[in-house]
Amino acid sequence: MRKKINPRKNKPIKLTDRGIYENLTGPVETNQFGLQMGVEALYLKGCGVYMDLERAITELQMKFDNLMKQNFPLSGLNTFGTGGSARLYAEVKTAEGLAAVVKEAASLKVPFFMLGGGSNVLISDRGYEGLIIKNAIKGFEVQGDYIMCGAGEDLQDLIDFATEQGLTGLEFASGIYGTVGGAIYGNAGAYGSEIRNVMVSADLVDREGNIRTEENGYFEFNYRTSKLKQTHEFVTRARFALKKGDKKAIKSKVEEIIAIRKEKLPLDKPSAGCFFKNIPDKTQEFGKLSAGKLLEQVGAKEASCGRAAVFNRHANILINNGSATSSEIRRLSQELKKRVKVKFGIDLQEEVILLGEFEEDNISSDI
Ligand SMILES: Cc1cc2nc3c(=O)[nH]c(=O)nc-3n(C[C@H](O)[C@H](O)[C@H](O)COP(=O)(O)OP(=O)(O)OC[C@H]3O[C@@H](n4cnc5c(N)ncnc54)[C@H](O)[C@@H]3O)c2cc1C
């Protein structure tokens, strides 16, 4: 029997990936150890369920034999450069291909997760017991002052393309890592603007494999979030409304922003940008209380855990200082969270998405 129990604490391990929560829902129960279990209970319950997942994974792999890779390493596919392997991995290049895979995985109850540029995720060292779908849907099309763009395109490539066309409006996002789809999912933003201000509509694939177009309002964009976090639909392409501008001026703005980012960000160290969200607060400038400022006041910049550390110029950026593990990064983040809670009574929320299984908090005093 496959037990997912943390041997040190005898506590159930948290299952944090959305695939499992999405696919399985059930009442809270008690297992043979007398531990309370939630939806993850269905995987802990015993051999029967585990075998079902194994069987489902095998079936999915056989159905898409040419597409699926097994035990695929994920450390090269995220900007922390950490994490284990995906049980199954598929790169999709078309909306129809994505729809077919998603529909089948959902009906077989195989957990799945879409990866864009991997610049806003922390992947467990244990990897992911399901299917990782890498979005490789590409392509640009100019339609007057609009650009239609494949969601698997790098955001920076979209900005460069718009610059070449003499179309202005996307400069604010210069230097933000990741894909267009990832930027829509998290309403990426910087320098006073966000994706919601330029995206007009996007095509989505839902869990039943349906493809449809939705307008901006559907996405309920907010600070670093969109409705996609609840619906778990995937973006395949999006349309952006831009304006005609001076090519030279656009280019120089893009370069200016990239130069500023190079100064401020640890571009030579693997990271995922800001680890925690700023806290909404109307009394503060831009309506947000900076998580970085709070972290600075709890000595974050001097904190480290193994090879995971905090960037010395920005207390909200955790870096992989060599060969850090995801577990070290996670433990460091939990310690910082704890310190902010103790000093300010504020619960920081992760901006970075945790994928896979992480142990319950186990903070050592060396941090
Ligand atoms: C050095 C550095 C600086 C950064 N600075 C900023 C910044 O200034 N502003 C900012 O907003 N962010 C910043 N980030 C964070 C990150 O770049 C953004 O959040 C980015 O938009 C994530 O895109 P991604 O493709 O890498 O998404 P991933 O990390 O691959 O995935 C993130 C989430 O998006 C979902 N997703 C990905 N593609 C799709 C899709 N097609 N459809 C639906 N869901 C999808 C994934 O399932 C996942 O839940 C920074 C990161 C780094 C490393």
Asked, for residue 62, whether it belongs to a domain, the answer is yes
Banded pLDDT at 267 (limits 50, 70, 90): confident
Asked, for residue 173, whether it belongs to a domain, the answer is yes
Domain closes at, from 205, 232, 262: 262
What CATH number is given to the structural domain containing 85?
3.30.43.10
Ligand 1 close to Cβ of residue 190 (< 6 A):
yes
What CATH number is given to the structural domain containing 258?
3.30.465.10
8 A C-beta contact, residue 120 and residue 113:
no
Asked, for residue 363, whether it belongs to a domain, the answer is no
Ligand 1 close to Cβ of residue 188 (< 6 A):
yes
Are 258 and 278 members of one domain? Answer: no
Q: Which domain holds residue 293?
A: 267-358
What CATH number is given to the structural domain containing 316?
3.90.78.10
Asked if residue 19 has pLDDT above 70, the reply is no
Please choose from 17, 176, 262, 290 the residue to mutate so as to test ligand 1's pocket, defined by most ligand atoms within 8 A of CB: 176
Q: Whose Cα sits closest to atom 50 in ligand 1? A: 273
Asked if residue 40 has pLDDT above 60, the reply is no
Domain closes at, from 208, 235, 262: 262
Q: Give 158-162's long-range contacts (Cβ < 8 A, gap of 24+).
A: 158/240, 159/254, 160/254, 162/240, 162/242, 162/250
Are 332 and 284 members of one domain? Answer: yes
- What's the predicted TM-score (pTM) here? 0.87
Give pLDDT tens digits for 149-177. 999 999 999 999 999 999 999 999 999 99
Give pLDDT tens digits for 105-162. 999 999 999 999 999 999 999 999 999 999 999 999 999 999 999 999 999 999 999 9
Are 257 and 279 members of one domain? Answer: no
Å from CA of 269 to ligand 1 middle: 17
Q: Whose Cα sits closest to atom 3 in ligand 1? A: 273
β-bridge partners, 54: none
Residue 145: DSSP 8-state: T
Are 157 and 65 members of one domain? Answer: no
Are 94 and 13 members of one domain? Answer: yes
Domain closes at, from 262, 286, 305: 262
Å from CA of 254 to ligand 1 middle: 19
Are 149 and 243 members of one domain? Answer: yes
Number of domains in the chain: 3
What is the rounded average pLDDT of the residues 186-197? 94
Banded pLDDT at 102 (limits 50, 70, 90): very high
Are 315 and 353 members of one domain? Answer: yes
Asked, for residue 64, whether it belongs to a domain, the answer is yes
CA pair distance 339, 205, nearest whole angstrom: 41
Asked, for residue 315, whether it belongs to a domain, the answer is yes
Please choose from 120, 195, 278 the residue to mutate so as to test ligand 1's pocket, defined by most ligand atoms within 8 A of CB: 120
Please choose from 93, 98, 172, 185 the residue to mutate so as to test ligand 1's pocket, defined by most ligand atoms within 8 A of CB: 185
Q: Which of 49, 151, 46, 156 is nearest to 98 (CA)?
A: 151
β-bridge partners, 37: 29
Are 293 and 348 members of one domain? Answer: yes
Are 154 and 238 members of one domain? Answer: yes
- What atom of ligand 1 comes closest to residue 353's alpha carbon? 49
Are 130 and 230 members of one domain? Answer: no
Q: Which two tokens stand for residue 20?
A: 């499992």
Are 304 and 353 members of one domain? Answer: yes
Are 84 and 200 members of one domain? Answer: no
Ligand 1 close to Cβ of residue 234 (< 6 A):
yes
Q: Which two tokens stand for residue 162?
A: 């718009």
pLDDT at position 191 is: 87
Asked, for residue 67, whether it belongs to a domain, the answer is yes
What is the rounded average pLDDT of the residues 59-81? 96
Q: Which two tokens stand for residue 3?
A: 């037990």
Q: Whose Cα sits closest to atom 36 in ligand 1? A: 182
Asked, for residue 58, whether it belongs to a domain, the answer is yes
Asked, for residue 75, whether it belongs to a domain, the answer is yes
pLDDT at position 283 is: 85
